[in-house]
């Protein structure tokens, strides 16, 4: 009888450990991108592709007055072009069916802009599109419709954390601002049903000029 009890206890422990392993695997994540923008000033971080012309710049800057979260430096985007927005894109080296894109962003107090965090797929372009507006709002696409998730209070001159979590099983995504989920209960829909392969930052939209914003601590994980 005692041997049977010991056997039952050991089985229970093993089953418990197996369950923990299965749960852990279900929630495991793979880090695909971790960027702190601590490379030399004036440069472009390795692995990122810039898009700009002579009136738009993307570069790492030392910004001690802004108290950047890491190393006193951040990615600066400056838009002086009515036609082309400064952009910086990073390939994920393959499609990511379920993942998250998180970054820290600050909109300029004197030259505020429309600062975008985009998730993209080949053949269709941007499939997830969120931006902080000059009016201190957070807006994202729900399918083809532009919806306002936070109507005010996304202040300029302050660092904000944006996190976008997507799942191609439902072709929906959720958005968090400074840790708070600001998404409608049903989630937001992709603009096109294509698995993401890259992320991109973009400043400016339409004919607007004289815009400046900063990015720090960008990460992408796959689940």
What does the pLDDT look like over 67-124, one tens digit per residue? 878 888 999 998 877 777 889 999 999 999 999 999 999 999 988 999 999 999 999 9
What's the pTM value of the predicted model, to 2 decimals? 0.86
With contact defined as beta carbons under 8 Å apart, do 37 and 215 qualify? yes
Both tokens assigned to 78: 């400056």
The pLDDT score that the predictor gives to residue 124 is 97
Right CATH for 29-222 from 2.60.120.200, 1.10.10.10, 2.60.40.3950, 3.40.50.12590: 2.60.120.200
Residue 15, pLDDT > 70, answer no
| Average pLDDT, integer, range 171-184 | 98
The domain segmentation of the chain, as residue ranges, is 29-222
Cβ neighbour number for residue 183 with a 10 Å cutoff? 20
Show the 3-state SS of 14-30.
Answer: HHHHHHHHHHHHHCCCE
Chain segment 44-82, per-residue pLDDT in tens:
888 999 876 555 678 888 887 788 788 889 999 988 777
Please state which of the ranges 10-24, 37-51, 91-105, 206-220 shows the lowest mean pLDDT.
Answer: 10-24
- Reported in sequence order, the residue ranges of the chain that DSSP labels E, i.e. its strands, are 30-35, 48-51, 56-62, 73-79, 87-91, 98-107, 115-121, 125-132, 138-142, 145-150, 160-167, 172-177, 180-181, 188-189, 198-203, 211-222
- Average pLDDT score, the chain: 87
Task: Provide the pLDDT for residue 50.
Answer: 87
Q: In this prediction, what percent of the chain has a pLDDT beyond 90?
A: 63
Reference 133, options 110, 109, 115, 108; nearest CA is: 115
Q: pLDDT category, 5, cuts 50, 70, 90?
A: very low
State which H helix or E strand residue 10 sits in: helix 2-26
Query: How far is C-alpha 11 from the chain's CA centre?
Result: 44
What Å distances lie between residue 193 and 15, 140, 149, 209, CA to CA? 39, 16, 22, 32
Q: Tell me 5's DSSP state.
A: H
């Amino acid at each position: 009888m005692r041997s049977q009890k010991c056997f039952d206890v050991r089985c229970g422990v093993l089953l418990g450990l197996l369950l923990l392993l299965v749960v852990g695997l279900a929630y495991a994540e793979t880090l695909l991108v971790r960027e702190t923008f601590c490379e030399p000033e004036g440069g472009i971080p390795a692995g990122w592709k810039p898009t700009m012309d002579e009136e738009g710049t993307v570069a790492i800057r030392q910004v001690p007055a802004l108290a950047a979260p890491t190393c006193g430096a951040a990615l600066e985007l400056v838009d002086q072009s009515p036609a082309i927005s400064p952009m910086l894109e990073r390939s994920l080296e393959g499609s990511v069916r379920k993942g998250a894109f998180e970054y820290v962003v600050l909109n300029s107090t004197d030259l505020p802009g429309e600062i975008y965090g985009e998730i993209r797929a080949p053949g269709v372009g941007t499939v997830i599109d969120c931006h902080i507006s000059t009016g201190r709002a957070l807006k994202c696409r729900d399918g083809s419709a532009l919806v306002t998730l936070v109507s005010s209070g996304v202040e300029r001159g302050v660092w904000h954390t944006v996190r976008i979590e997507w799942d191609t099983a439902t072709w929906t995504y959720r958005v968090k601002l400074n840790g708070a989920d600001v998404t409608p209960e049903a989630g937001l829909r992709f603009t096109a049903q294509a698995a993401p392969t890259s992320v991109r930052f973009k400043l400016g939209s339409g004919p607007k000029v004289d815009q400046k914003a900063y990015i720090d601590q960008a990460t992408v994980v796959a689940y």
